[in-house]
Amino acid sequence: MNQTSNTGGMRARGAALARHPLFLPLLALVALLLLNRAFNPHFFQIVNQDGHWFGSLIDILNRASPLALVALGMTPVIATRGVDVSVGAVVAISAATAAVLIGGQMHIVNGVETYASNVPMSVAILAALGVGLLCGLWNGTLVAWVGMQPIIATLILMVAGRGIAQLLTAGQIVTIYYQPYFYLGAGYLFGLPFAVYLVAAVLGLLWWLMKHTALGLFITAIGINPVASGFAGIKARTITLCVYAFCGLSAGLAGLLISSNVKSADGNNAGLLMELDAILAVTLGGTSLGGGHFSLIGTLIGALIIQTLTYTTYSIGVPPEANLVVKAIVVFVVCVTQSDVVKKLVIRERMTLEGGR
Amino acid sequence: MKPLNSTERFSLGRLFDARLLPLLITLALFLLMFGYGSVAYRGFFSLQVFLNLFIDNAFLLIVAVGMTFVVISGGIDLSVGGVVAVTTMISATLIQNHHLSLWVVTPLVLGMGALFGAFQGVLIQYFRLQPFIVTLGGLFLTRGLCFLINIESITITDPVYTSLAEYRFAIFGCFVSANVVIALVVFAVAIWLAHYSTFGRVIYAIGGNERSAMLMGLPVARTKVLVYTLSGFCAALGGVTFTFYMLSGYGLHAQGMELDALAATVIGGTLLTGGVGYITGTLFGVMILGVIQTLITFDGTLSSWWTRIAIGALLCIFCVMQRLLERHSTGKKRDSIGHQKGVKAAPPARQPEAASLGPNLTLEQPHGV
Amino acid sequence: MNANTPLPAAPALPILHMRGIDKRFPGVHALKNVEFRLFPGEVHTLMGQNGAGKSTLIKVLTGVHPADAGEITLAGQQVHLTAPEAAEAAGIRTVYQEVNLCPNLSVAENIYIGRFPKRAGRIDWATLNRAAADLLAGLALHIDVTRPLNTYPIAVQQMVAIARALSVDARILILDEPTSSLDEDEVQKLFTVLRQLKARGMAILFVTHFLEQTYGISDRITVLRNGELEGEYRVDELPRLTLIHKMVGRQIDLESLNQPQANAATAGETFLNARDAGHSGGVQGLDLEIRAGEVLGLGGLLGSGRTETARLLFGVDGCDSGQLAVGGKQAHFKSPHDAIQHGIGYCPEDRKTEGIIADLSVRENIILALQAKRGLFRYLPKKRQYAIADEYIKQLGIKTPDADRPIGLLSGGNQQKALLARWMATDPKMLILDEPTRGIDVAAKLEIMDQVLALTRKGLAILFISSEMGEVVRVSHRIAVLRDRRKVGELPAGSVDEQAVFQLIAGGEQ
């Protein structure tokens, strides 16, 4: 593009902005938020009560947290050409582990309510995270060392995982009575939900790893060409294993948030269809399912889009069940626009446009 | 046990084909499990218990047959559970609430299933999308549609429908339901499709090497779309039989059936990488899932979630086994790929493979037709 | 039938006439206004160097890559070959260099799929198998046609592919380097069949790299160079040397190709020493010594174990018998990473799948091995990355607008240079170059070879692999010769010539 005038330069800058990979996801998010504003004039209002901020936006942030965690863990997996469809089951397992270990009873001692957990909370949390990590390592081993297709390898845990979660809870919905545990999913820190800080911490950690170590470069290289990456000396297997392990760990963390938020663990329904939401969030954020270049911020935006979408369907009075249909349509539209066929068409269009000048 | 085509009938050597191994293991496993049940539980060893395997899993067999074709072509269809559910929902709504005839509703839902499969096939083939993401989207869509129609479960009380659903065919003093007859017809047609029709062989060809199939001038695009159409049709038919079985329509019906169907397919010896698979194997895969459930029911002390864990474990074992067999054969193949690359300016040389031609031939000829 | 008629006046109407064929791929103009004619009852050989556009022309003709411009007439009628099905329907049959059949289907199915004999609505397997066996018997191949194709060696698979092409009445038969996996006997058998087909009036388009075969079977030769038509010749009007000149383009290159360039170098200490090393399924009992400052050439034919040797020395295939020593100390390479830590680099034969990472920038591709060597946490700052990349882009003359361009968009020669830069950046002590000049135009080829020789003068050890024996002889100080995945001999510096290498390959005494 050849700019001769100032307007041309501005147009070019605008076009470059429009071509930025995060432009479309952000646009979609903003459009959704504005749509909500149209239905609900108080949508953007945030009020401070007792030092806590409340409002629709805060609510969306808070509720998007578990999905954001799972999707952030999924992003590097998808960047290495993989996928982890077991995250929903891992969420259920981790939630079940935490719930069973904490359980908790309320005693009234001298008229004061006190709470006791079955095991110390820190042990329970570490155990739940450890179980998530273990699940991730299992998936990673099947993919990196046994050499199974990622979808198949993680499908095994997806099938068995719900059974394991129910085994842990003995088929019951385990209720948690230990008050301090609820801080994780429902507590506030400096006026904002605690979960938001967790997401920020995980994002920050990943961001640092990607930008200040060679991990981002290596993951991208493996995703684009695994064989050539190995020939260049990258330890592809180890990195793949770590990526799946991290995905399991973040799913475990999400399981903690969810069980803390709903104060119970349901082996059957905790994290149900979450793998689909997570994949969708990653795809919405502009990371291709074919592997290679990826965007963490994009994934975060993707998770927010999905949560806002859910919020929207609730608030404009569409039955919540329609949510699934809307998501499905989003999946189809995003995939088709990301497909090589459509990309080629766009490129050809652009070439003829530029060639014609 | 295998479809009787001459390629398999006459060649003893095929029995030792490593790729048949999973199928043989599946068969042995089924017999072992059924045998264990017969010894361990009173009343297990009876024709009716055996027939019940068919009655309780007829819909799964139909769905799994469609899945088998998809997997043989190298794809995957995760939408089948949703299609089953939406079929029960539409059938129940139209019959119960709109009082339409069974004979109008059934062709309609079958057509819808096929059409939906074709839609997914077109996305996969013409937009080059990954089958798993497209069919995941399909799962969202169909489940969501169920709840858009009705959140509650709809029970069917239509007399024609219930009488058909409750009709029993007697066999040696025992009985099977109409569903079983439908499933067996589907099974027979599937064997004909897989082994005696060009369409079926092209599916195998695509699974073996899609690029080659295209270069051989085979109708790859059409066949791939048709495979997903077939799977959609089978899922809808599975939904119809599921409606017979449950006599209700509900959005939460058939949850996780896509995984069961996939597990039955894989346990039946179909390679997830495509190109190799057996309809008969899928039948045994379904039977094994059925036996696991029956064993757990007979035991009484084991909880239902053990089914999931057992299926997951079986899936894991079979997948790892497939992978090892595959690695074994690609280990051999990689050497040959190295030799395909042409020498440019050197005189042609006899290659190691060509040298081994001699012994190979003498080994094989006794099995020849 | 084409007796003494001077070209271009045609002996008859061509059955196939391609005119003004143009084809572009991203970054490559593969075919520029190419014309090609094929007459019934002739064997017409298409010749050209790698990258001349032969395969692209074939793919245009078979509908795999429809042309961007130009017209194709078949027997005087214009046709649009937009898909392989269309080409098949038009009577064009193709046998490719790689066996493009389905490995999981039986031999008989592979021959007849798409045209199965049917009886009562079902495939008639008995008739099918009998017909397939008969057809193969005609090619002197007696095998069990019911077994899956992948249970047979490549040579048999190639004959099955030819049988498939012959199983219907084709008007045009295209053979795209079908002989590269056949031995001399099998080639002669194939030629006998081709002569029969020719006598029946079939038009045969033949692609090969072997001059002997070209002159053994062809009636006519078309030469392509750099995607353009160089000319169409009758075989008796085109002496071999002229043909080579026309393929290469410049006579000057030929002369420099014949000039030995490897000076008697100052070979230093032994860098890598392999003793009886081997990998099951790969090379066996390998004794090899590679010294600093010298080029060790690997001679041998396709399948003799050249690439396998490289994979063994680079840790791709683990060394499971014998031992390797680097600088006198025993070394175990479990992965390429270990080999790189010992100062070894490897430019693989298959640049696209094993070398470049297409969507990464030139800069990232260049620093990748260095970064892998440094490990995950000692990340090179962006500034250093650009400095390194820019340095090598300048030094090696890599043609790219900037270091941030995805490497997949560069030409083959520039990709190869970037790969060379990747290893030079790791400051290696030894480089393995496997077919570094394949698919690269002559100018880039010479540049790369100059760079290689310059490196040895700085004390680098090089293991050089190429199937162009002349090239090996020209740059190497010593040549180790492989046959059947074993080393069969070694020729010291000075006494090396092509003839000696061929003698060793052939197994004759020196």
Q: Select the more confidently predicted residue: C107 or A190.
A: C107
Q: What is d(CA A235, CA C341) in angstroms, rounded to the nearest whole number?
A: 12
Distance from CA of C385 to the nearest CA of A (A): 12
Tell me the mean pLDDT in the region B25-49: 87
| In chain A, residues 243-272 whose CB comes closer than 8 Å to chain B | 267
Could you tell me where the DSSP H helices lie in B127-197? Answer: 131-149, 159-166, 178-196
- Domain(s) labelled CATH 1.10.3470 in chain A stretch across 55-317
Distance from CA of A299 to the nearest CA of C (A): 21
* Residue B199: per-residue pLDDT: 93
The shortest CB-CB distance from C376 to any of A214, A220, A228 is to A214
Most confident residue range from B31-45, B339-353, C431-445 = B31-45
Where chain C has pLDDT below 50, the residues are 1-10, 251-262, 508-510
pLDDT range class, residue A300, cuts 50, 70, 90: very high
The shortest CB-CB distance from C357 to any of A212, A225, A235 is to A225
pLDDT tens for B335-345 read 333 333 332 22
Say which DSSP state C409 is in.
Answer: G
* CB contact at 8 A, A123 and A178: no
Distance from CA of A289 to the nearest CA of C (A): 15
Contact state of B145 with A159 under an 8 Å Cβ cutoff: no
pLDDT tens for B136-195 read 889 889 988 988 888 888 888 888 888 888 888 888 878 888 889 999 999 999 999 999
Query: In the predicted model, is pLDDT for residue A154 greater than 70?
Result: yes
Give A-chain residues touching B318 at CB under 8 angstroms.
none
Q: Which domains does chain C have, with CATH numbers?
A: 1-91+203-252 (3.40.50.300), 261-343+428-510 (3.40.50.300), 358-427 (no CATH)
Give A-chain residues touching C355 at CB under 8 angstroms.
228, 231
- In this complex, which chains have at least 3 CB pairs below 8 Å with chain C? A, B
Handedness of CA B29, B32, B35, B41 (dihedral sign): negative
Q: Does C126 touch chain B (CB under 8 A)?
A: yes
Query: In the predicted model, is pLDDT for residue B367 greater than 50?
Result: no
* Residue A113: per-residue pLDDT: 66
Tell me the mean pLDDT in the region A163-176: 81
> Which residue out of A159, A309, A338 would a mutagenesis test of the B interface target, given it has the greatest number of B Cβ atoms within 10 Å?
A159
Distance from CA of B274 to the nearest CA of C (A): 9
* Residue C496: per-residue pLDDT: 64
The shortest CB-CB distance from B148 to any of A162, A289, A319 is to A319
Task: Give the number of B-C residue pairs with CB atoms closer than 8 Å.
Answer: 197
Give C-chain residues touching A81 at CB under 8 angstroms.
none
With residue B339 as reference, give the H or E element that holds it. Answer: helix B305-340
Q: Does B5 touch chain C (CB under 8 A)?
A: yes
Distance from CA of B8 to the nearest CA of C (A): 8
Q: Which residue has the tokens 């992965």?
A: C335
- CATH class of this structure's domain B16-330: mainly alpha
* Residue B19: per-residue pLDDT: 61
Q: Max alpha carbon distance in chain A (Å)?
A: 86
pLDDT range class, residue A109, cuts 50, 70, 90: low
Q: How far is CA B153 from the centre of its chain?
A: 28
* Residue B108: per-residue pLDDT: 94
pLDDT tens for B234-250 read 999 999 999 989 888 88
Fold for the domain defined by A55-317: ABC transporter involved in vitamin B12 uptake, BtuC (1.10.3470)
Q: Does A214 touch chain C (CB under 8 A)?
A: yes
pLDDT tens for B248-276 read 888 888 888 888 899 899 888 888 888 88
* Residue B335: per-residue pLDDT: 35
3-state secondary structure C289-348: EEECCCEEEEECCCCCCHHHHHHHHCCCCCCCEEEEEECCEEECCCCHHHHHHCCEEEEC
Could you tell me where the DSSP H helices lie in chain A? Answer: 6-19, 23-39, 56-79, 87-102, 121-140, 150-169, 183-186, 194-212, 215-224, 226-231, 236-262, 274-284, 296-315, 322-338, 340-355
- HSE toward the beta carbon, residue C379, CA cutoff 13 A: 17
Give C-chain residues touching A214 at CB under 8 angstroms.
371-372, 374-377, 379-380
Residue C43 in 3-state DSSP? Answer: strand
* Residue B347: per-residue pLDDT: 31
* Residue B337: per-residue pLDDT: 30
Query: In the predicted model, is pLDDT for residue B346 greater than 60?
Result: no
Contact state of B309 with A163 under an 8 Å Cβ cutoff: yes
* Residue C196: per-residue pLDDT: 82
Contact state of C468 with B345 under an 8 Å Cβ cutoff: yes
Say which DSSP state B12 is in.
Answer: G
| In chain B, residues 269-328 whose CB comes closer than 8 Å to chain A | 272-273, 303-309, 311-313, 315-316, 319-320, 323, 327
Give C-chain residues touching A343 at CB under 8 angstroms.
none
Q: Which two tokens stand for residue C200?
A: 């029946």
Q: Does A235 touch chain C (CB under 8 A)?
A: yes
Backbone angles phi, psi at C134, to 5 degrees: -65, -45
The shortest CB-CB distance from A235 to any of C314, C337, C374 is to C337
Please list, in sequence order, all residues whose beta carbon lies within 8 angstroms of the beta carbon of residue C412, skipping any fewer than 6 positions away.
C51, C351, C439, C440, C444
pLDDT tens for A21-80 read 787 788 888 888 888 888 777 777 777 777 777 777 888 888 889 999 999 999 999 999
Q: Which of A307, A297, A299, A298 is nearest to A327 (CA)?
A: A307
Give B-chain residues touching A153 at CB under 8 angstroms.
319
Please list, in sequence order, all residues whose beta carbon lies within 8 angstroms of the beta carbon of residue A319, skipping any fewer than 6 positions away.
A313, B147, B148, B151
The shortest CB-CB distance from B140 to any of A164, A166, A328 is to A328
Give A-chain residues touching C384 at CB under 8 angstroms.
none
Q: Quote the radius of gyration of chain B (alpha carbons, Å).
A: 23
Classify A174 in phi/psi space as left (phi over 0), alpha (psi -120 to 50) or beta. Answer: beta
B16: nearest CA partner in chain C: C147
* Residue A175: per-residue pLDDT: 77
Going by DSSP bridges, is the β-strand pair C77-79/C69-74 parallel, antiparallel, or unpaired? antiparallel
Contact state of B340 with C154 under an 8 Å Cβ cutoff: yes
Q: What is d(CA B289, CA B314) in angstroms, rounded to the nearest whole number?
A: 10
* CB contact at 8 A, A93 and A265: no
Q: Select the more confidently predicted residue: B361 or C133.
A: C133
* Residue B340: per-residue pLDDT: 31
Q: Does A323 touch chain B (CB under 8 A)?
A: yes
Q: Does B330 touch chain C (CB under 8 A)?
A: no
Q: Which of C192, C206, C204, C69 is nearest to C139 (CA)?
A: C192
Q: Which two tokens stand for residue A88?
A: 């929903």
* Residue B106: per-residue pLDDT: 92
pLDDT tens for A337-349 read 777 777 777 766 6
pLDDT range class, residue A350, cuts 50, 70, 90: low
Helices and strands in chain C: count of H runs, count of E runs: 17, 22
Give C-chain residues touching B218 at CB under 8 angstroms.
85, 113-114
Query: In the predicted model, is pLDDT for residue A305 greater than 80?
Result: yes
Lowest mean pLDDT among A154-163, A235-244, B359-368: B359-368
Give the C-alpha distances (Å, rounded to integers) separating A337 from A76, A334, A344, A346.
Answer: 22, 5, 11, 10
